[in-house]
Structure 1
Amino acid sequence: MFTPKLTRSLRAVRSFLAPVLRDRRGAAAVFLAVALIPMVGAVGLAIDSSRGYLLKTRMGKALDTAGLAAGRVALDGNAQDVAQQFFDANFGTSDASVEVAPVAFALDDTMRFVTLSTTATTPTLFMRVFGRETMIVSARSVIQRETTGMELALVMDNTGSMWPDEFSTLTGTPFKAMQDAADDLIDILYGSDSEIENLWVSLVPYTAMVNIGKTRTDWLKSGDRVLNNPGSYSTVGWKGCVMARTYPNDTNDAPPSVEKFGSFFYASTNSDSNDNKWPTIKEDYTYKNGARGPNLGCGPAITPLTKSKATIKAAIADMKPWSRGGTTGNLGLSWGWRTLSPQWRGLWGDPDLPLDYGTPFMDKVAVILTDGQNQFHDNSNDSKNDKEVPASDYTAYGRIEDLVGYSTGKEDARRSDGRAILDARMTETCNAMKAAGIRIYTITFNKPDATAKALFKKCATTEAMYWHAPDNDTLSAVFRAIGGQLANLRIVE
């Protein structure tokens, strides 16, 4: 079918040739025979070239859209499929005689440039007079993946449940899957660079408490045992974990000048060998629930905002699953906030960080992961005594009775009330961080219950920024998806 533009061109040619066609003299016929060939060729070339240009333009626009979509998942195995789906949807239907090749997807060695290309074969209308029955039209799009200016806090669950009893080593455990996925995220953000301008990352491991680092004694309360009686920790010394501050300062980003911290100290319980009988100290993570000591359950220290890819990757590799105490994701998130809050500028070591909220071209982002729910664990629980006191290990909130305010009745009731308090305080922290402009991504992993999923979904900035990963492979895909969302994409060709 001829297009209106093509019809107008044919009419112009016919109008130009009409007088010649009516002339019956031999000279005119010769002239026509000689002139007609280049004229038809010129008109045909112009018309077919115009059709090819329009086709190339359609292909280019569809490739640009596909490239922006594929750039978000560039490191995923299905990136090419995503590119093809978006190309097909945006290219739309075409003449059945036009054959479009599959989209070719390529990611360069730096993982910064995504190139999409394709070709289309379309029949000619006029050039076939000269033996050219088809022409090939090619198009390509190059997308540059740039990491946005960002302060990013990774808040990672380091509790013992991430290393189930059926595993003898960390290999293949959910914990190792979390480390690998977080490591992939860093590779996505940094690519082959060791540092990127305006990109800083912190790591906040949490268990039933958080480790601020044993050198930060100036954040401790006056008269704290670390300052006045360090020998009470035996020869191992204070590892760096702290108690939760009084409410609401356990939920917010108030600096130490507002309220300082107490050091975490799990006293020896000589009357209960299943709880924490020491001085036989066994504080390595491999002891699991059999560990004992003043720092029982205390994980690795926070790594504050750093530009160094090597530093943050080493910190991720250094994480270990620490048993006992339970899980306080609310404290993990509040400490993640403190690594991003300008109220803590200079306190972590860098005099210029964290930056102000709303700094141009800078985002503040937190990613928090858990494999379960906020809870108090009791290693010495007597299943025959559901009114046992205490009903939990010692945590950043002390024993569960210290948080809920009562020690009578069934243990399950105390644990349930304790969890409700932790969940409510985590919601407060989530809401305050979002109000400050921090984007929050949340991940539940493995087998959390419905309440935990609902809590983390509500905590995320949007529902689309919450993921549940039931297995290791899905977790890897989730971190890659987040990495794609944190990258800025622009069309460069």
Structure 2
Amino acid sequence: MEPLTAKRNKLTSAIKKLKSEGYTAGQTGVAWGWYSLSPKWSNLWPSDSAPGEYDDEDVVKFLIFMTDGDFNTNYYFGGPPCNYRTRYGIQFDSGKYYSGQCVDYDHKSYSNKKNYTDRWQEEPEKENSTNVSSTRAKKICAEAKKTGASLYSIYFGSNDNSAGAKVMQACATDVNTTYYFAKDANNLIAAFQAISSKIKGVYLSK
């Protein structure tokens, strides 16, 4: 993850290296976005990237995030051995199971090994706005709002009533003014431009 920086070239370089793969664990992105702004986590970052204190009148905090899918993967430490979870499946809801592999944090399969209860596990889950990953994301957003930070969110997709859209709506500071629904690339560009203009307006007013 790229720490806070004012160097545009570092950000664009990091973005170009991103790859699209796997499931959607948006709560992880929301969490790390907040860790980069909260002074509680200052020790994680280089000194010149450390987030400012909440009572610093010269600092305004903005958290901006986007998803193009529903959150459908959560992580937990330990739990039943992977071979057990793979053999018997993960129950999503009544009569529906996921029988895939149990995967650890670095995406290597341990489905044929035993007692991997001392590592981070990845668990796919049914897509909805109240599953574990969505609930965690909304909880982080709620805590971030309490500090006075402004949260902007964008849902990029075709259904403004989808699970992912509902999470983005819940996370926005104000669903009417800081949440954006983008159906296509033009809408997405317009959303980011609107957010940029609002942030510039805040800084100019200060």
TM-score norm. by structure 1 comes to: 0.31
Q: Describe the superposition over 1:277-315 as per-residue Cα deviations: whole angstroms up to 9, x where unpaired.
A: xxxxxxxxxxxxxxxxxxxxxxxxx10011212212222
Matched, 1:389 2:86: no
Measured in 1, the distance between the counterparts of 2:188 and 2:129 equals: 29
Q: 2:6 aligns with which of 307, 312, 319?
A: 307
TM-aligned CA deviation for residue 446 of structure 1: 2.1
> Counterpart of 2:9 in structure 1: which amino acid?
A
> Counterpart of 2:99 in structure 1: which amino acid?
V
1:475 aligned partner: 188
Q: Note the 1:341-352 alignment, pairs <5 A.
A: 341-350=38-47
Q: Note the 1:254-265 alignment, pairs <5 A.
A: none
1:458–1:388 distance in 2 versus 1, CA, 3 Å? closer
Matched, 1:332 2:29: yes
Query: What is the DSSP-based 3-state SS (H/G/I as helix, E as strand, rest coil) of the residue aligned with 2:61?
Result: strand
Check whether the contact 1:376–1:419 (CA below 8 A) recurs between aligned residues.
no
Measured in 2, the distance between the counterparts of 1:357 and 1:339 equals: 13
Question: Which stretches in structure 1 are left out of the alignment for 5+ residues?
Answer: 1-301, 402-413
1:149 aligned partner: none
1:411 aligned partner: none
Measured in 1, the distance between the counterparts of 2:200 and 2:30 equals: 23
Query: What is the DSSP-based 3-state SS (H/G/I as helix, E as strand, rest coil) of the residue aligned with 1:398?
Result: strand
- Taking only aligned residues, the RMSD between alpha carbons, in angstroms, comes to 3.0
Q: 1:366 aligns with which of 63, 66, 86?
A: 63
Matched, 1:400 2:132: no
Matched, 1:320 2:34: no
> Counterpart of 1:374 in structure 2: which amino acid?
F
- Structure with the bigger RCO (C-alpha within 8 Å, sep 6+) is 2
Q: Note the 1:57-206 alignment, pairs <5 A.
A: none
TM-aligned CA deviation for residue 457 of structure 1: 0.8
Check whether the contact 2:2–2:14 (CA below 8 A) recurs between aligned residues.
yes
Measured in 1, the distance between the counterparts of 2:157 and 2:102 equals: 24
1:455 aligned partner: 167
TM-aligned CA deviation for residue 433 of structure 1: 0.4
Question: Which stretches in structure 2 are left out of the alignment for 5+ residues?
Answer: 75-88, 90-94, 106-119
Q: Describe the superposition over 1:48-106 as per-residue Cα deviations: whole angstroms up to 9, x where unpaired.
A: xxxxxxxxxxxxxxxxxxxxxxxxxxxxxxxxxxxxxxxxxxxxxxxxxxxxxxxxxxx
Measured in 1, the distance between the counterparts of 2:49 and 2:185 equals: 38
- Number of paired residues? 169
Measured in 1, the distance between the counterparts of 2:196 and 2:146 equals: 23
Check whether the contact 1:374–1:419 (CA below 8 A) recurs between aligned residues.
no
Check whether the contact 1:375–1:418 (CA below 8 A) recurs between aligned residues.
no
Query: What is the DSSP-based 3-state SS (H/G/I as helix, E as strand, rest coil) of the residue aligned with 1:332?
Result: helix
> Counterpart of 1:373 in structure 2: which amino acid?
D
Measured in 2, the distance between the counterparts of 1:362 and 1:352 equals: 13
TM-aligned CA deviation for residue 451 of structure 1: 2.5
1:389–1:320 distance in 2 versus 1, CA, 3 Å? closer
Check whether the contact 1:442–1:457 (CA below 8 A) recurs between aligned residues.
yes
